[in-house]
Structure 1
Amino acid sequence: MTERLVLDVVGVPVEVSAPDGAPAEELYAAAALVAIERSPRLLLHAGAVARDGRAVLFPGESGTGKSTMVAACLRRGFDYLSDELVAVETDTGCVTGWARPLMLTAWAQGALGLGPVGPGTALATAAHATKAAVPCDRLGATAVAATLPVAHVVELRRGAPQTRLVPRPAGEVLAQVLRAGFNHYRLGAGAWAAAAALARGARGWRLEVSGLDEGADAVRDLLSRRSG
């Protein structure tokens, strides 16, 4: 049996087919592809969390640890924006997150202390799939729909001997944001304007991570500082 679902992907309504047993990751990926072609805003491949009305972005390709670090931050009291995609306002550089369920591998679920993830959501992951859809409330977090300023842009580096934050210059932050763009090829000058506005308002860091809890604590400590 196939169900038709309408998902809101940062303001873009997308209808997807959801056959019984379809992996959640595939369904969300299909929805994201449609939004990328339709959204008037710059969409970034990035995880994002927030606290006290300010966002922290983790831009990067799949496999860099975005979802796992977002989940670790949620366990430390952060609010949830996205583990995959954010939309950037052209004039302000503020972001809105796509608060889909987090897509976590079996390794990440174990590292985060989660038990087996059951079919508790409309888009549950099939048993044979490599990732499971984990609602943010299972990590004790609340999803935030508001558009927020970005305080910090964090590049993740896993497997470090110790956890530490290394400052990065604004030029590197701008380059990383542009590399993370899903639809910059469509937006032209608008993509540059949005990325530049975001980079102007945020500080850049490389987070070398030795452990999830230590990494999340380092991100929490960032937001005790003032950006700028």
Structure 2
Amino acid sequence: MLRPVKKRIEHMLKPFPTLYRWASRLYGTVNRSTAPLSPGAPGALREALALAKEWASGDVGDYYEFGIYRGGAFAAAQRACRELGIESVHFYGFDSFQGLPPVEGIDETDGIFYEGQFAAPKDAVVRNLTEEGVDWDRTTLIEGFFSDSLTEEAKEAYPFRSVAVALLDCDLYSSTQEVLSWLESYLVDGSILLFDDWESFGDDGDLGQKRAFSEFLTKHPGLQAESLLSFPPHGQGFVVRRGQ
């Protein structure tokens, strides 16, 4: 009910960043739903996880989500695995629980993102996930801004395995860059990457997640990406191919 109204208001207020931010905060206060902000995310996750299961020759790997907000997409991924009979996946969720970090450089381009946007307290997220029936024995939430949490120390502290599916719902070029750099060692042939904010800047490949992924692939010539699926309103998925 609220989502179509929100889209219309966003479109009208986009040229006025101060008003846009005020309206965004108001919407976050009024709308307490745990449903993903991207309505196409649950379906995309189910399709990606089904493919990961189909392609796996052994263990499927693990699920990674960067930017879990209120937990709606994260819960949907677990629900999809239950329905698909995928039992070996561990679910890792990374979030600051304080919203976006300071928005600087090219991420400031049109003012649609701002520091603290999409904040959701960790205790509220845990409560949401519990109500959604997540299996806490298969769930790990890692708190912190990516610059602090995506470290070599974290790789030693947790038994991370290869990526089956990763959802990058981190909005910014800088955050996406940090995620991809850290995640590279867990990408195998057939890993699926879902970029929730791929089209946030339209066709401009010099901004946002498009730029971060393009630079990442240039830096790692042994990796290739094949377009896999798109999902509303801004999402795009790729399957990773890793050369020998």
TM-score, normalization: structure 2? Answer: 0.29
Q: Greater helix percent: which structure?
A: 2
Highest relative contact order (Cα 8 Å, sep 6+), 1 or 2? 1
Q: Greater strand percent: which structure?
A: 1
